[in-house]
Structure formats: C-alpha cells, structure tokens
C-alpha cells in the first residue's frame, strides 16, 4: 500500500519529468564546465543541486507549502553563490532572515495559528526574490566580455524565481499546473541559459583567437621589417616609419608621431610621422600655419626630457590617455587642428625608456577607447623589442671585431630573460645558463600572473644566430600576452604553435615546456612541446618522478593539439627544468652526462636551497666535461617548494 502511494505521488507531482530535466541539466553542465576556462558556470552547479534536493523532498512529501518555503530561501542561496566571500556578512544576515521567516511561517501553520500560509509564503517569496536579485545585480563584479550573457541571466533568473510564488497566489486549483509546467520550466530556463552562455563563450573564444592571430601577424611583420632594416645596415628611420604606420592602423588614429630618446643629449627626437599629426606644443612664428609647414617642423622636432607632455612621457615612462585635451595644460591646441583625444605610450625595454609614440584623433573622430589604449600599449611593446634589436645590431655594425658582434647578439637574447627571479612566499628559484657560443638558443622565464598562478617556462630554439633570437622574441611576446588570460597550458602551447608555424624556417623549430603552479595549494598544470621530461623530487616518497608528455615541437605542424597534465607538489619538493645541452654534455671519453646524473644529484642534494642545487648541478657538469668543449647551450632552472 505504501509503495502504491509513493508511485501515485510521483506521477501526480510530475517528478519523473523533473528527474529527466535534472539529468539533462547535469549532463549539460558537465559538458559546458569542461570548456569553461573562466569558471563562470559554477553558480549553475550549486543552483541545480538546490533545485534537485527541493524537488526530490518536496515531490515525495507533497506539501505545496514546502515548495513555497524553499522559494523564499532560494534567492538567499543565489546571493551566497554569487557574492561569496566578498560580502559574507551581508549574505549571512540576508540568508538568516530568509530561513527564519520560512521556518516561522511553517511552524505557525502547523500550530494552526495561521490556517493557510500559501498567500503569505507566496508574497514573502516574491519579496525575498526581489531582495536577493537586487543584491546580486548591485554587488557582483561582472566580466565585461560576457555583459550580454549577464543581462540575459539576470532577467531570466528573476522571472524563473518569481513565477512560482506569483502563480500560487491564484489558489489551490493552479497547484497541478505549478508542478507539471512552472517548476519544470525552471529547469528548461536553466538549460536554455547555459546554451546561450555556451554559444557566447564560443564566439568570445573565436574573437580571442582572431585577436591573437592579428597580434601575432603584427609581431611577425615587425620582425620582417626589422630584418629588412638589418639588411639595409640598420635603417632605423625606415623602421620607425613602419612602426608609426602600424600603430596608426591598429588603433585607427588620424595621426601618429614616433620619437626616440637620445641619451647623450637628454632629449627625445622625432623619427617618423604617419597621417595628419597636429602640433601639440607652442611653435615658432616663422613656421607656416598649414599642414605641410607643421609636418616639416615636427619632422625635425627635438624636445628636452621632462618638457611638456612628450618630454614627460620620455622621462617617466608613464603612458597617457587623454580624452579631453582642451583641459590639459600640457597640450597646446591650434585652432586649425583641433584634437578630440590623445594617447601617449613609451617604448620600453625592461625599465629603460627608448622612445615615445603619440597618437591623436581629430575632434570630428570618435574618442579613443580603453581598447584602443590597450592596443597602443601592446604595439608599443612589440616595437620596443624590434627597435632595441636594431640598436644592438647597429652597435655591432660599428665594430669590426666579429667576436664582439657575437657578444652584442648575446645581449639581445639575454634581454629576453628575467633580470631577477621573483621572490615568492611558497616557491624559491635557482638557475644557471651557459651559452656554447655568442647567441643563446635557450630561453627560460618565470611569469607571476597572480598569487594563485605562476607560469614557469623553458624552451630551446633549434639553430643559432639572429633568426633564432628573433623567433624567441616572438615566442616570449605571445607567452606574456596569453598568460594574462585564463587559458590552460595546452591552449597556450596550441596558440603559440599556430602563431609561429609557417612564419619560421622549419630548421628553427622550438621545444617548449610550460608549468602553471598555484603556490598556495601546490596544484600544477603542465604541457610540453617536444621538450625533455620535467624532473620532480618527491620529498615525502624519497624518489625522483619524471613528468613527460609525448608531443612535437613548436613550428612543425600548425594543427598540433597539445595536452595538459595535472599533478600536485608538496612542501620541500624540488622541480628541475633543463635543456638538451645539460644531459647531452659529453666528456673526454664520449660519454653523455644523462638524466641519471641529474636524478643522482637530486637524491644527494635535495635538502639544499634552490640556488645551491642549481650551483651543484653546474659544478658537476663542469667536472664531468673536464676540458671537453661545450657544444650546446646549457640551462637549468630549479624550483623548490617551501
């Protein structure tokens, strides 16, 4: 008898239909979460779990008041998921009030103090929904890229939450409709909302990839033009003209002026003008007041460091974004050339200021946006590396000593490496890098993105010379661009590969290894492109673990798909990143140093600091090789957890 009543209750409450929708929603959530690199759908998991518990218990009990009581609590739960730790006290108070009201009304109904709590529960649920959604919409920080999705989500969730208690006000005769149509509609709404998110996420991914492709093409063109300038004996004015043109086209500027710093004269000198660039400072009376006169005068402009807007940027290295030039005392606007907005970005190598680019738009043109400012900064960064390469090559050209030329070329490559490794509370670093001759082909980097994301990179470009160095410039630029997103390590490698393949000689492929580590938890994500295995000393096990992933190098096949591997490191673990030149070092008897020698050292010296371990490896390799000449670059990066 009990079993038949349960089956009757299941059928009368439309629970089977709800269960089907619940299973469909969970499957959809798992699929979308697998591709959700920004973790935007976490809220949907918790919302689904809450709905499943509510419908399972409420469907078996069969009390409509129980459903309405949960409708009071649901908005508090949503506020908790969305606001989280950022407004914990506010959410706690709101949730406590919602739960207390729901329980109080239920007790009053059981004690027959209130004969029917449905109208009161319905009205209270509507008020609770309004309060919760108001808090969410006014307190959460939204990802601007997903603005349209957030707007749709806000409207739809509001309707889905308010609809059941609103319908309940019509009376008991609508209860079957509630369970058969309205409550399942919440699941359908969730499913539709997630499909909308999935579609928009795909669109944004395509946009991000296209934007990266454009940036890679721009970087590639910079490299090509720098090669032309090198073949022309270091034609810097020609290169600067291309830089001005590229920045103007990339930001849709009406005029761009590029200038370079003269360290000997403590001034900044104009090198190139693209488009119609207005004078933004006082000009001599003798200069004709027309476009040609202004252009000729600007072409020979020299400004002391610190003087005016241009001199200030050249001295401080701080970019300027001015949307109302009329109110800026540093800018002199001439009536015949009114300025609507202006951007000033420095050319920087590390902390050294080598030049300035000034971008302008007319009064009649749209005002520059934050996106334009970011693009200008990115293009200035690309240009800085190329300009510095020309400077270094000019220095080489002025010296007849070939060995000295190799030394200058080596300086170009060294500029790509971190001047000092970051100091982190949970990680320490030690390194050494020895070139076989002149220009390095090895590359390593430590990129701290946040307290929870540190990228550790090591790579090796096949071949030597300036071309190998420029390829590493491209790889480094793309790396620093993509690691600021939330893409996983496999995606980062895939995008670098797509950006590089076809733009480099097949003889200059590159191996690359990326590790993203969370120093707070020890969680690691690892991807490899043809590089040697990562070695880890597992302190709790007393052994060396090798993390390897079969893959091809960067630049071989454009459609190569890389894979990420996840693992965890514990306190006192030691990670060894190294290049081929280390384990392929040969002694006088023709024997290779090998991975076994590295693992032996880890067993012996794992208790030392990262710096000391790196030094021990360096000394051991030198001792092993003896008088044998080094034939390949040797780089080791040691990471130790605290």
How far is residue 307's CA from residue 313's CA, in Å, rounded to a whole number? Answer: 9
Determine the Cα–Cα distance for residues 596 and 108; give it in Å rounded to an integer. Answer: 76
CA distances from 620 to 110, 536, 550, 603 (A): 81, 19, 29, 14
The pLDDT value recorded for residue 482 is 85
The residues that bridge with 270 in the sheet, in sequence order, are 259
- Could you write out the DSSP letters of every residue in 30-70? HHHHHH-TT-TTHHHHHHHHHHHHHHHHHHHH--HHHHHHH
How far apart are the C-alpha atoms of 435 and 627, rounded to whole Å?
16
Instruction: Pick 532 or 550 by higher pLDDT.
Output: 532
Q: pLDDT tens for residues 123-143?
A: 666 666 666 656 555 544 445
Q: Residue 7 has what pLDDT?
A: 43
Which comes out higher in pLDDT, residue 183 or 380?
A: 380
Strand partners, 529: 512
pLDDT tens-digit map of 337-346: 889 999 999 9
Position 400 scores a pLDDT of: 46
Torsion angle (degrees, nearest 10) of CA 369, 370, 374, 375: -20
Residue 358: both structure tokens together = 């000034």
Tokens of 638: 């040691």
Measure the CA–CA gap between 289 and 551, rounded to whole angstroms. 63
pLDDT at site 11: 44
d(CA 51, CA 72): 13
pLDDT in tens, 176-218: 666 667 777 777 777 777 777 767 766 766 666 666 666 666 6
> CA separation (Å) from 234 to 216, 224, 239, 568?
23, 13, 9, 49
Residue 231 in tokens: 């073949």
135-139, 421-425, 579-583: which range is least confident on average?
135-139
Q: In angstroms, rounded to a whole number, what is the distance separating the alpha carbons of residues 340 and 242? A: 24
pLDDT of residue 14: 56
Average pLDDT value for the chain: 77
- The number of beta carbons lying within 10 Å of the beta carbon of residue 592 is 13
For residue 438, give the nearest of 411, 475, 459, 418 by alpha carbon: 411
Which tokens hold the place of 289?
Answer: 């007041």
DSSP characters over 531-600: PPPEEEEETTTTEEEEE----PPBTS-TT----EEEEE--TT-EEEEE-HHHHT-B-TTS-B-HHHHHHH
Residue 59 confidence class, pLDDT cut points 50, 70, 90: low
**Which of 111-115, 397-401, 402-406, 616-620 is the most confident on average?**
616-620
241-290: pLDDT as tens digits: 888 988 898 889 999 999 999 877 789 999 999 999 988 888 888 888 78
Rounded Cα distance between 301 and 238, Å, is 17
Residue 218: CA count within 13 A, CB half-sphere: 26
Q: What is the pLDDT of residue 215?
A: 65
pLDDT for residue 578: 95
* Whether residue 602 has pLDDT greater than 90: yes
Helix (H, G, I), strand (E, B) or coil at 358: strand
Mean pLDDT comparison of 164-168, 397-401, 612-616, highest-scoring range: 612-616
CA distances from 405 to 224, 263, 411, 462 (A): 21, 22, 10, 21
**Does residue 319 carry a pLDDT above 90?**
yes
Mean pLDDT confidence for 67-96: 59
Residues 452 and 518 sit within 8 Å (Cβ to Cβ): yes
Instruction: Quote the pLDDT of residue 202.
Output: 66
Name residue 416's beta-bridge partners: none
Contacts of 194 (CB under 8 A, 6+ apart): 25, 28, 29, 32, 41, 44
- Size of the chain, expressed as the number of residues it contains: 642
User: What pLDDT does 175 receive?
Assistant: 62
The confidence score (pLDDT) of residue 606 equals 93
In terms of pTM, does the model score above 0.75? no
pLDDT (tens digit, 9 = 90+) per residue, 427-460?
Answer: 999 998 887 765 667 889 999 988 889 999 999 8
62 phi and psi, to 5 degrees?
Answer: 80, 15
């Amino acid at each position: 008898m009990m079993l038949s009543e349960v089956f009757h209750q299941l059928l009368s409450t439309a629970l089977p239909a709800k269960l089907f929708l619940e299973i469909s929603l969970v499957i959809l959530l798992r699929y979308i979460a697998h591709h959700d690199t920004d973790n935007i759908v976490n809220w949907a998991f918790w919302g689904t779990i809450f709905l499943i518990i509510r419908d399972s218990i409420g469907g078996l009990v069969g009390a409509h008041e129980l459903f309405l009581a949960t409708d009071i609590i649901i908005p508090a739960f949503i506020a908790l998921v969305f606001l989280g730790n950022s407004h914990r006290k506010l959410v706690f108070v709101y949730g406590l009030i919602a739960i207390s009201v729901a329980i109080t009304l239920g007790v009053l109904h059981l004690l027959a103090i209130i004969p029917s709590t449905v109208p009161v529960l319905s009205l209270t649920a509507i008020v609770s929904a309004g309060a919760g959604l108001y808090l969410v919409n006014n307190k959460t920080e939204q990802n601007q890229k997903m603005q349209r999705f957030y707007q749709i989500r806000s409207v739809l969730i509001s309707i889905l939450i308010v609809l059941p208690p609103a319908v309940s006000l019509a009376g008991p005769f609508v209860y079957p409709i509630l369970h058969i149509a309205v409550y399942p509609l919440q699941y359908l709404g969730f499913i539709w909302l997630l499909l909308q998110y999935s579609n928009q996420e795909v669109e944004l991914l395509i946009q991000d990839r296209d934007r990266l492709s454009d940036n890679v093409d721009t970087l590639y063109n910079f490299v090509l033009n720098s090669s032309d300038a090198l073949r022309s004996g270091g034609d810097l004015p020609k290169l600067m003209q291309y830089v001005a043109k590229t920045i103007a086209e990339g930001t849709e500027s009406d005029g761009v002026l590029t200038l370079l710093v003269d360290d000997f004269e403590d001034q900044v000198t104009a090198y190139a003008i693209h488009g119609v660039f207005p004078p933004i400072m006082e000009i001599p009376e003798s200069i004709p007041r027309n476009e040609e006169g202004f252009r000729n005068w600007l072409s020979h402009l020299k400004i002391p460091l610190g003087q005016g807007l241009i001199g200030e940027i050249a001295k401080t290295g701080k970019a300027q974004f001015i949307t109302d030039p009329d109110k800026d005392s540093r800018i002199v606007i001439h009536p015949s050339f009114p300025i609507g907005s202006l951007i000033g970005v420095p050319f920087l190598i590390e902390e050294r200021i080598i030049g300035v680019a000034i971008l302008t738009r007319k009064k009649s043109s749209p005002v520059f946006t934050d996106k334009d400012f970011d693009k200008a900064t990115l293009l200035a960064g690309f240009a800085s590396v190329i300009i510095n390469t020309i400077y270094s090559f000019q220095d080489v050209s002025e010296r007849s000593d070939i060995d000295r030329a190799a030394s200058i070329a080596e300086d170009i490559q060294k500029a790509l490496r971190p001047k000092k490794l970051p100091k982190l509370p949970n990680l320490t670093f030690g390194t050494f890098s020895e070139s076989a001759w002149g220009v390095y082909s090895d590359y390593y980097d430590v990129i701290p993105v946040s307290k929870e994301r540190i990228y550790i990179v090591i790579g090796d470009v096949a071949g030597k010379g300036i071309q190998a160095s420029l390829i590493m410039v491209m790889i480094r630029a793309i790396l620093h661009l993509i690691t600021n997103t939330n893409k996983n390590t496999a995606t980062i490698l895939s995008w670098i590969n797509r950006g590089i393949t076809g733009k480099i000689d097949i003889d200059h492929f590159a191996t690359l290894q990326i590790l993203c580590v969370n120093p707070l938890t020890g969680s690691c994500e690892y991807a490899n492109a043809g590089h040697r295995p990562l070695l880890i000393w597992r302190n709790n096990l007393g052994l060396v673990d090798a993390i390897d992933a079969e893959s091809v190098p960067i630049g071989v096949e454009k459609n190569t798909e890389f894979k990420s591997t996840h693992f965890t490191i514990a306190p006192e673990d030691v990670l060894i990143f190294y290049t081929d030149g280390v384990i392929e070092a040969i002694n006088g008897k023709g024997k290779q140093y090998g991975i076994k020698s590295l693992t032996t050292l880890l067993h012996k010296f794992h208790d030392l600091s990262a710096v000391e371990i790196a030094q021990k490896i360096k000394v051991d390799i030198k001792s092993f090789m003896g008088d044998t000449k080094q034939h390949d670059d040797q780089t080791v990066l040691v990471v130790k957890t605290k």
